[in-house]
Structure 1
Amino acid sequence: MKQLLLLTGFVLCYTFAFAQPPKDTAYIRDHYTKMEKYIPMRDGKKLFTSIYVPKDQSKKYPILMTRTPYTVSPYGENNYRRSLGQNTLLLEEGFIFVYQDVRGKWMSEGDFIDVRPDIDNKKGNQVDESSDTYDTIDWLIKNLPNNNGKVGIEGISYPGFYSTASLPNAHPALKAVSPQAPVTDWFIGDDFHHNGALFLMDAFSFITSFGVPRPHPITPAQFKTGIKFKYTDNYKFYLKMGALPNYKTHYFGDSVKFWNDMMAHPNYDSFWQAMNIRPHLKKLTPATMVVGGFFDAEDCFGALHVFDAIEKQNPASHPNTLVMGPWYHGGWESPDMQHFGDQDFGSNTSKWFRENLELPFFKYYLKDEGENTLPKAAIYISGSNEWKKFSKWPPENSTEKTMYLHANGKLSFDAPTSGEGFDEYVSDPSSPVPYQDGVQRDRTREYMLDDQRFAERRPDVKTYQTDTLSSDITLTGPVVADLLTSISTTDADYVVKLIDVFPDNYPAPTPNPKNVQLAGYEMLVRGEIFRGKYRNSFEKPEPFVPGKVTEVKYNLPDVGHTFRKGHRIMIQIQSSWFPLADRNPQKFVDITQAKDSDFQKSNIRIYHDGQNKSSIKVTVLE
């Protein structure tokens, strides 16, 4: 008999019932008329669309749209949302707000396909998210009274993907698009996989609470997943579950298509490659503002790489802005993002973004108001706690430098000598390194910048740190781990963490209700995992030769952080990050089909001698 599940965290963070104080429903009801329409697509399917039109019809308004798989509720023309637009300032400015259930979700017709692939040269009635957006805009422009002929699109996370997907072959009326934490690549860096390693908690919770197909057009109140369970300690729960095939046996059966698809495609094959929207972001006409959070546990990769793809595949004159702040997933629309986790960023960073970047972007391109003063990149630098504007990203005035690992846990910009050797640890899948200290039920968002002292104490985590810094060092851009390693088995994972070590006399915050000890605090600035068998190709994995020195080189997401004078820079290296990521059996097998008996210990060596120089490349702002 299947256990019962009650799991909400993953979907709640996607629905974005933000803490941002909304206008109440009475205000929206007094100032807007709600309409519900089924808008026809070119293949005859109709998509359910909620439309909120200002009652003041004395002027024309631009249209601001969000397309979502997470429901446009409440349903019914007499039932009003509590807020309109992600940014309450947009409501006050006056827009026509449009929300649409994407094809195959909730009350829309058609079949749903996760991250539906873009079709470059559509023929006849072929459809994708680009064509559905085009057809929707065409209907809105022709049928809504008092629209000014200009449309903007915004969306966070999965709706961020639909924002990105509106860009190829965009409707001429689409003038401004803001993909925010956009789902972009579900194998390389977003949500379900990072560099081939399955992000176990996110994948499992997504499937159990969102991935179950609907039987027919239906509202959330009528929909039951049929998959239920309950637990209090995620580390114990996932460890007890064991190998990945056990999840299907105990919970899914054949009822959840996307889980089965994931298990059937363990490598970066055409299934995953077709979902990648980045190659299609060419010859774009709408202005773009890509938004992300450096401490986003879900789609930090998407924001950075959508921006990069637009930059590389379009003329330099294309208006494209990157905004990265010290935010969790969607935190830029939270009412006050001065604090996150144990850190105080000195000011309300989300409010500054909404007032100085997001609102001017949509006003300029949709209402012809204001001036186009947006930079190429607006980046919040944590540590020094300041916004900086750059003419490109990474900044022009930055230099790539290399930090080398040394014996005795040393880290420096000087290369090691031939007299050094290696560090070794035993990676044991039966006792994996936890991703966070303490006991949690759901995957937290605070782990992205939490204290790492708990991990340093473990024998299967190797730690390297600089001497006390004599001056500030600001990193703005890529971080590349370049490890020279050997293992006693045929596969292993690598987790590299970049950490800011606070001075031993650093004062505690005031007030301090959680009794946070910032003296000696080891703040995670960036961490990323890599599945070793993909070191040469995500499409064609290769086993390690036991005992052979092998290079494992991979990119961590970009950073924007100042390591202050008196602090230290630390690197931690480990081979598990559980249950954030699934366990590697450390045996060259298809992990999606592995048996519990396949899991084995591995002796991992990290080399730092004159010939094998393990290092971390960083981009230093001059």
Structure 2
Amino acid sequence: MKKHIFSSITFLLISFFLFNCTPTAKNDIEKKDTFVADNYTKQEVDIEMRDGIKLHTTIYSPKDTSKKYPILMQRTPYSSAPYGEGKLKPKIGPNVHLMKEGNIIVYQDVRGRWMSEGVYDNMRAYIPNKKENQSDEVSDTYDTIDWLVKNVENNNGNVGTWGISYPGHYATVSTIDAHPALKAASPQACIGDFFFDDFHHNGAFLLSYFRAISLFGTYKDTPTDSAWYSFPKMNTQDQYQFFLDKGPLKNLNEYFQYDKLDVAGTEKKDRIDDFFWKEIVEHPNYDSVWKSKGIIQHLDKVPSSVATMIVGGWFDAEDLYGPLETYKAIEKHGKENYNTLVFGPWDHGKWARNTVKNTVGNYYFGDSISLKFQSEIETKFFNHFLKGSGDKNSGLPEAYVFDSGKLEWKSYDSWPPENATKESWYLSDNQKLTADKKSNSAIKFISDVKRPVPYSEDIKTVFTPRKYMTDDQRFAARRPDVLVFETDILTEDYTLAGDILAKLKVATTGTAADWIVKVIDVHPADVKENNEGLQDHLKMSNYHLMVRSEVLRGRFRNSFENPEPFVSNKKTDVNIKLQDVFHTFKKGHKLQIQVQSTWFPLIDLNPQTYVDNIYKADEKDFKTQTHTVFTDSSIEFSVLK
């Protein structure tokens, strides 16, 4: 084996994605903790799959062999490192409690990643009726579990899977056509469908994820213990200006031509070497490629013998769709399944941190929230199904959810709660959000392709954006191309619990447009305290907390499979589903809705002139247009009385 090299690229990868590789904060990683070395032995094996491909697997077994232990497994594309004899992770398992009480902890590099053989496929499609020697991630998981329970000493025959983000997706995969030994799975921030998670939101491309493309699309067909990919260099600290200057998306192709010169020494301007970027460019619509990669539609194949606990964060910028839709799909198809939901006031993977203070961006939600989850929920779940009786009387609620307005946990027998009802509020003149439809007037604004609305007022570059999910939205509310509608000051608490549907009535002078809706909690002006960590230019007085937001690429308003242009100046229905919230707008606050058409560079810039494929649009296609929102538009909330 080559000497293991953790390059700066790999460290960057771990910094952003690595709640997936180890559940500790950076300062914990840097501590000299000898617990794993003192209490575990490490073994590295290559497990052969049914088609002959070998997957690199690292097994940590307790040194105390006086009893048998369950197996807790994570499959990951982000490396099961460190590789090599005597090199150990400083922390293993989902949390410190499960590590210290003793479990067999397993990490595996998925097919085509790091030290595993084969060629990687991003969100490899599930094959429902496999022929002999056909493999997918479902069969790879099954074959791995089968080998582990037969070959790892002192295992009790029970297996659990967990993971955050992409490893969360593989935890979901483990539940489909599951091995009989799999008793518990906890998909956390799990990817559900790449047309709605991570790189797309309702068909709009997440331009802000541009630098992460090569992480998943750089070709490799041999095992390696060091990074084989590199990230594009932006050479600026102003990402807004960088992407504005770059212009159409096709101008980014140059960053995905890894071998720019052919044998004659001439540049191949049109070639795309990155297979993930090529997939995105060539498949702008929700076609068979994206559908085949989605996992939500296969969750009718989760047996009742597998208990699931789906975990997510209300302010997770990467994967909010995935865990919510995963829970709902299992709930829909598995009436006899033990299936629970945990959602807290976290961004991507923060529930795995060992920090006391829980903040997302500028906003403080309380202390020890993640620690409480780890000790009282996650550990209890795995212990009950892997070491205990394994019946449905786990002592845990069906839905354990954090009210991000009241700052408190609540337990419910279902999600959304059974007593949640639908209420509609209407957009009205004079920036009012009213309970009654009062007019049918038209509010116009200019959507300037040279001055798109920023998603953040921060001047910086980020690898994947997270902080904006709780950012103060005053900067946007004060732009003429952002429409604002808000209630009067609330005289009593108003709790939203469930999904939100924006029913917009719009028109445009062009033939294409994106539509963005944001739900904002406007804090009272007399709030004096400012939490530690608040950016210097902000105050909590009148803070505009973004509670939920979503975009719909307008061409997909009727079908994600078959896009269509707008008819210029024609009033048109655009319905946007916003993911679930659990938030109380407290007495003295206001509920605000913002409507806009650009959100840059979180999402790419719409030409506002219809083209078949935006990834191939030319500069001439981008035109400033005037958009209209009609005041018979409404927002439908799920309200908990």
Fold conserved between structures, TM > 0.5: yes
Is the contact between residue 122 and residue 217 of structure 2 (CA under 8 Å) also seen in structure 1? no
Paired residue for 2:220, among 214, 223, 226?
214
Match of 2:378 in 1: 358
Aligned length: 608
Is 1:279 matched up with 2:286? no
Structure 1's 243 and 575: CA in aligned 2 closer, same or farther, altered over 3 A? Answer: same
Structure 2 residue 47 is matched with structure 1 residue 39? yes
1:506 has 2:527 as partner: yes
Aligned ranges for residues 572-611 of structure 1 at < 5 Å? 572-589=594-611, 590-608=613-631
Distance 1:344 1:303, change over 3 A: same
2:240 maps to 1:235: yes
Which segment is superposed worse, 508-517 or 124-133? 508-517
For residue 172 of structure 2, give the secondary structure of its aligned residue in structure 1. Answer: helix
Mapped to 1, the partners of 2:358 and 2:494 lie a distance apart of: 23
For 1:184, the aligned partner's letter is G
Aligned to 1:618: 637
- Are 2:224 and 1:205 aligned? no
Q: Which amino acid aligns with 1:219?
A: D
In structure 1, how many angstroms separate the alpha carbons of the residues matched to 2:14 and 2:380?
A: 30
1:490-522 C-alpha deviation (Å, 9 max, x unpaired): 010001000000011111225577444111110
Distance in 1 separating the partners of 2:319 and 2:90: 26
Q: Is 1:325 aligned to residue 344 of structure 2?
A: yes
Distance 2:533 2:73 in 1: 42
Between the aligned partners of 2:534 and 2:452, the Cα distance in structure 1 is: 32
CA contact (8 A) 2:189 2:311 kept: yes
1:428, distance to aligned residue in structure 2 (A): 1.2
Aligned equivalent of 1:301, options 321, 328, 340: 321
Deviation at 1:15, TM superposition (A): 2.1
Aligned partner of 2:580 among 558, 577, 581: 558
Confirm or deny: 8 A CA contact 2:551 2:576 kept in the other structure: no
Residue 154 of structure 1 corresponds to 162
Q: 1:185 aligns with which of 183, 187, 193?
A: 193
Q: Is the 1:10–1:205 Cα contact (8 Å) retained in structure 2?
A: no
Structure 1 unaligned regions, length at least 5: none
Secondary structure of 1:142's match? helix
CA contact 1:24–1:83 (8 Å) conserved in 2? no
Q: CA shift at 1:351, angstroms? A: 1.1
| TM-score (normalizing by structure 1) | 0.95
Matched residues in 1 for 2:76 and 2:357: separation? Answer: 25
1:452 aligns with 2:458: no
Aligned to 2:541: 519
User: Is 1:334 matched up with 2:370?
Assistant: no
Q: Structure 2: how far apart are the matches of 1:504 and 1:421?
A: 31
Amino acid at match of 1:343: Y
Q: 1:51 aligns with which of 32, 35, 59?
A: 59
1:347 aligned onto 2:367: yes
Question: By how many angstroms is 1:390 displaced?
Answer: 0.8
Q: What is the alpha-carbon distance in structure 1 between the residues aligned to residue 548 and residue 300 of structure 2? A: 30
* Cα distance between partner residues in 2 of 1:98 and 1:321: 24
Partner SS for 1:439: coil
Q: How much has 1:422 moved relative to structure 2?
A: 1.4
1:570-615, Cα deviation, whole Å (9 max, x unpaired): 000000100000000001111011011110011110001xxxx201
Secondary structure of 2:100 counterpart: helix
Matched residues, percent identical? 47
- Partners of 1:539 and 1:365 in 2: CA distance: 41
Determine helix, strand or coil for the equivalent of 2:293.
coil
Residue 206 of structure 1 and its aligned partner are, at CA, apart by 1.4
Other structure's SS at 2:377 match: helix
Q: Deviation string for 1:370-426 (max 9, x for gaps)?
A: 951121111100110110111111100111100110001000212223xx4011101
Per-residue deviation, residues 144-197 of structure 1 (Å, max 9, x unmatched): 11000000000000101111111111000000000000111111x210000110
2:555 corresponds, among 528, 533, 548, to 533
Instruction: Quote how far apart the aligned CAs of 1:25 are.
Output: 4.8
Which residue is equivalent to 1:464? Answer: 485
What is the Cα deviation at residue 10 of structure 1?
Answer: 6.5
- Find 2:593's aligned residue among 568, 571, 577: 571
1:7–1:209 contact (8 Å) kept in structure 2: no
Shift of 1:11: 5.9
Deviates most, 118-127 or 367-376: 367-376
Per-residue CA deviations over 1:270-303 (Å, capped at 9, x if unaligned) read 0000011112112423100000001001001101
Partner of residue 267, structure 2: none
Cα distance in structure 1, aligned partners of 2:384 and 2:10: 42
Cα shift at 1:337: 4.8
Listed one character per residue, the Cα deviations across residues 209-251 of structure 1 (whole Å, up to 9, x for unaligned) are: 4431225211125x35385443211101111111111111354
Aligned partner of 1:476 among 474, 497, 513: 497
Does the 8 Å contact 2:357/2:366 carry over to 1?
Answer: no
Q: What's the counterpart of residue 36 of structure 2?
A: 28
* Displacement of 1:8: 7.5
Q: Per the alignment, do residues 510 and 556 of structure 1 end up closer, same or farther by CA in structure 2, a change over 3 Å counting?
A: closer
1:494 maps to 515
- The one-letter code matched in structure 2 to 1:494 is W
Q: Following the alignment from structure 1 to structure 2, what is the Cα–Cα distance between the partners of residues 486 and 312?
A: 37
Give me the whole-angstrom Cα distance separating, in 2, the residues matched to 1:7 and 1:98: 21
Match of 2:461 in 1: 441
**Within 5 A, what are the aligned runs for 1:352-391?**
352-368=372-388, 372-391=394-413
Judged with a 3 Å threshold, the aligned counterparts in structure 2 of structure 1 residues 92 and 347 are, in CA distance, closer, same or farther, namely same
Q: Out of 132, 135, 154, which is 1:127 matched to?
A: 135
The residue number in structure 2 matching 1:14 is 17
Letter in 1 for 2:346: W
Post-superposition CA distance 1:529-556 (Å, at most 9, x none): 1100100000000110001100000201
Partner of 2:203: 196
How far apart, CA to CA, are the structure 2 residues paired with 1:95 and 1:250? 44
> What is the aligned partner in structure 2 of residue 78 from structure 1?
86
In structure 2, how many angstroms separate the alpha carbons of the residues matched to 1:457 and 1:94? 55
Pick one of 266, 283, 286 that aligns with 1:268: 286
CA distance in 2, matches of 1:268, 1:100: 31
1:244 maps to which of 246, 249, 274: 249
Relative distance call for 1:496 and 1:510 in structure 2 (3 A) is: closer
1:6 shift after superposition: 7.8
Q: Per the alignment, in what secondary structure is the counterpart of residue 85 of structure 1? A: coil
Q: Provide the TM-score with structure 2 as the length reference.
A: 0.92
Question: Are the aligned partners of 1:331 and 1:337 in contact in 2 as well (CA < 8 Å)?
Answer: no
Measure the CA separation in 1 of the matches of 2:629 and 2:609. Answer: 19
RMSD over aligned Cα, in angstroms?
1.8
Match of 2:415 among 386, 393, 408: 393
